[in-house]
């Protein structure tokens, strides 16, 4: 089964299932009501240091993925919670970045789908 990812700014849909925000920071200009986030797992997001270093620069994408996966190895609780939720029911991973191809939700999606 595929795990969808979606910008948190897009309109929520019933087909999203459980909507999980995987950003460390709350998305700018978006109320909690409009976001319709069921769960905010900020601890599964990249560290502030990694997030700032990456800056959504596509030239750093390959290295970002390696560093982010290494960080996830050290935070078993958040990743385990996300894996369990994805196993139990339909989930959609939400992110705030404008770049739809180079963000942490893409990395998490690949990781979770590989584990299934």
Confidence (pTM): 0.93
Over range 33-42, report the average pLDDT.
95
Instruction: Provide the domain limits for residue 37.
Output: 5-115
For 13-31, write each residue's pLDDT tens digit. 999 999 999 999 999 999 9
pLDDT the model gives residue 10: 96
Look at residue 1 and tell me whether its pLDDT is greater than 70: no
Domains: count for the chain? 1
For residue 21, list its beta bridge partners. 40, 94
Over range 70-92, report the average pLDDT.
90
Over range 25-43, report the average pLDDT.
94
* Cα distance between residue 26 and residue 15, in whole Å: 23
Furthest C-alpha separation in the chain: 36
For 46-56, write each residue's pLDDT tens digit. 999 999 999 99
């Amino acid at each position: 089964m595929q795990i969808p990812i979606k910008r948190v700014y897009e309109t929520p849909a019933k087909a999203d299932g459980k909507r999980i925000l995987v950003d460390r920071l709350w998305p700018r200009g978006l109320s909690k009501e409009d976001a319709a986030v069921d769960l905010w797992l900020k601890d599964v997001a990249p560290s502030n240091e990694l997030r700032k270093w990456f800056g959504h620069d596509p030239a750093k994408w390959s290295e970002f993925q390696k560093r982010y996966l290494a960080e996830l190895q050290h935070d078993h609780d958040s990743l385990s919670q996300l894996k369990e939720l994805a196993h139990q029911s339909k989930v959609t991973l939400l992110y705030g970045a404008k770049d739809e191809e180079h963000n942490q939700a893409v990395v998490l999606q690949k990781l979770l789908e590989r584990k299934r």
